Structure 1
Amino acid sequence: MSRLATWPLDREADARVRRRAMAVAFVVLWCTGYPAGLIAVQHAAPFTILFLRFASAGAIFAAMASFARARRPALREVAHHAVVGVLSLAIAFGGIYEALRLGIGTGIAALFVGALPLATATIGLLLGERMRAVQWIGLAFGLAGVVLVLQGRFAASGDTAAYAASTLGLFALAAGTHYQKRRAPAIDLRVALAVQHIVAALALLPVAVLAEHFRIDAGAAFAAALAWLVLVNSVGGFALLFTLLRGGAATEVATLFFLMPPVTALMGWLVLGEHLAPAMIPGFALVAFGVWLGTRLR
């Protein structure tokens, strides 16, 4: 077979390799937000942190778009991405951070985020999407692995309000994932992320000012944590997330979130000295197998 005949296959294989590399990078970058967020919450109120994070990231994306002379979107396009910003950023992260403030614990918060594929699949079914049996099996293995990894980390997490806030954040993120894929137009990525982050910051500003009085214990630790959250998690992480969303089904992309709790547990062990029990290892294997099943190409 000639090189010309195999060229399309080579391009397809290269695209799969690049996509998988981006998926790995996204998982790693996203999970670093947990230790950074834990440090930040110790020095400032949660919604104040989120406002500063989203406002700073929005300004960076806007500057990047301006420097590149990206096309200015129409008002209708801005409105769609504003909805994504409110759902995927303001409400989703607001719910998770509020749950942490109420004492739900980082392990349970990670479990809620890890359940994103189930929430995304549920919303997808309501919207008429179809799921193959192998994808449901992958989701089940992934959830079982998440629970196994996080067993023993559920103590002192029974606050009903905290669970309600986490659930709200989970389904807001799932709804934002679907809305991003279905309705948000494919405008310049820097413009889209600038709109989403700025709108999310404006939505959280009243809460940060009126409820938290913009409480900040400024210092080197807080500055370093905030800088990490902005540059690594918001700028790097969300750029990868929405690049992945543009190239695949929302449920398949969301299945990557099953990797968040075990990877976060490993990072907590390495960075923060948190306990990592040997019984968690089978959970890691179940999660990896579930993600492999759930993200298989049609």
Structure 2
Amino acid sequence: MSAPRFPSTSHTALGGAFVLLWCTGYIAGKLVVAHAAPLTALVWRFGLAGVCFGAFALLTRAPWGTRRAIAHSAVAGVLMLALQFGGVYLALSWGASAGVAALVIGTMPLAVALLAVWSGAERLRATQWAGLLVGIAGVALVVADRIDGATAWPAWLALLAGLAGIAFGTVYQKRHASDVDLPTGLAVQNLAATAMLLPGALWLEGFRFTNAADFYLPMLWTVVVNSIGGFALLFLLIRRGAATQVAALFFLMPPVTALFGTWTLGEHLTPLKLAGFALAAAGVWMVTRAGARAA
């Protein structure tokens, strides 16, 4: 039996809330990494989120499911959390610009679509393929003025690893781990990511962070707003919708982050960025509308 779908208005509201919460994480993440080593910061973030989800699951007596279900959730967590964010945070610490990182991760919807079609999980209409290309063009316009030619190859490899993590993780989550109870599934995912990253944080970084409010306040934001709120919404969206339709929302991440940058970091919106925003939104509309008709 196929998973039930939200009504279109509810699904749109969830998608919009997810984009807004997720994008604040880029701003908070930049502040966190300025005061902590990248893997150490992620151990803090995922470890605290895992404890919160686990405590909530225990208090509400949520079902943990079978060992097989727990294993699937752990694999999804390693891919979507440890590999994705580990790659992005390492790339930024190795000199990659925010523009390069946004461009690489911004191709995630196309990567997810290719994986979903290759695995037989979904069939895409011509309009959806066109929407994917339009969305990528929009992302490229938004981040064009922030891309430089100085990114070293280790940073590129780390970003590609991060792209692989979120793409494979999204498809894997939809196929194998979307029926797990939400708090228990997210507890397992965050704790599995923590366990994967902890050795590197200890042995490579010495678990280095600044014991000050400049670290703790943005870290608290990434835990409560991004990891708890953002990933709970992502979990629900993947459960209720096709992987490609959910992934298409990532086209909106660079434009919305650019808007946040104008308010918090003093960055400027240009006509090129506004055009990119429009193209990205059009791409999302084409992918999700065509997918809804085909459902």
TM category (shorter chain) comes to over 0.9
Name the SS of the counterpart of 2:188 in structure 1: helix
How does 1:160-179 map onto structure 2 within 5 Å? 160-179=153-172
Mapped to 2, the partners of 1:158 and 1:55 lie a distance apart of 30
Q: Is the 8 A contact 2:170 2:243 kept in 1?
A: yes
The match for 1:199 is: 192
Kindly provide the amino acid, as one letter, of the partner of residue 22 in structure 1.
L
- In structure 2, relative to structure 1, the CA distance for the partners of 1:32 and 1:185 (3 Å cut) is closer
Which of the pair has more CA radius of gyration?
1
Q: Is the 8 A contact 1:245 1:253 kept in 2?
A: yes
**Over residues 230-277 of structure 1, what are the superposed CA-to-partner deviations in whole Å (9 max), with x where a residue is unaligned?**
000000000000100111100110000000011111111111112322
Runs of 4+ in 1 over 3 A off after TM superposition: none
Q: TM-score, normalised by structure 1?
A: 0.93
Q: TM-score, normalised by structure 2?
A: 0.94
Between the two proteins, what is the percent identity of the paired residues?
51
The match for 2:243 is: 250
How does 1:1-298 map onto structure 2 within 5 Å? 15-128=7-120, 129-184=122-177, 186-296=179-289, 297=292, 298=294
Q: Is the 8 A contact 2:39 2:86 kept in 1?
A: yes
Q: Is the 8 A contact 1:80 1:185 kept in 2?
A: no
The match for 1:5 is: none
**Over residues 195-222 of structure 1, what are the superposed CA-to-partner deviations in whole Å (9 max), with x where a residue is unaligned?**
0000100110000000000001121121
Mapped to 2, the partners of 1:256 and 1:151 lie a distance apart of 20
The offset of 1:108, in angstroms, is 1.6
Q: Is the 8 A contact 2:84 2:162 kept in 1?
A: yes
**Over residues 21-40 of structure 1, what are the superposed CA-to-partner deviations in whole Å (9 max), with x where a residue is unaligned?**
00000000000001100000
Mapped to 2, the partners of 1:277 and 1:108 lie a distance apart of 18
The offset of 1:185, in angstroms, is 5.2
**Over residues 147-169 of structure 1, what are the superposed CA-to-partner deviations in whole Å (9 max), with x where a residue is unaligned?**
11111111254211111110111
Name the SS of the counterpart of 1:66 in structure 2: helix
- In structure 2, relative to structure 1, the CA distance for the partners of 1:78 and 1:170 (3 Å cut) is same
Mapped to 2, the partners of 1:292 and 1:193 lie a distance apart of 28
